[in-house]
Amino acid sequence: METCVLVNDIEKYGGKYVATRSFTNSDVVASGDDMVKVYNEAKDKGIDDPVVFYVPEKDMVYIYLCL
């Protein structure tokens, strides 16, 4: 089975939002603490439809509740 890598050098981005060109291109084009700013920075760099997501900090457990 092929390994799926969402972000290259992920250890640099723990606790931040990152933007990539697509789900298949794992090179980060923008990163930061504010999701909207990261999205806009990627758009300013000419990325038509950037993929933005949060990278959890290493060894941090996140629990999501649906109410």
Tokens of 38: 């990261």
**H/E element, 29:** strand 28-32
Tokens of 62: 């996140």
What is each CA distance from 53 to 1, 4, 5, 49, 66, in whole angstroms? 24, 15, 13, 13, 19
pLDDT band at residue 3 using 50, 70 and 90 as cut-offs? low
pLDDT digits (tens, 9 = 90+) for 26-41: 889 999 999 999 999 9
pLDDT for the residue numbered 59: 77
pLDDT band at residue 4 using 50, 70 and 90 as cut-offs? low
Tokens of 31: 């990163």
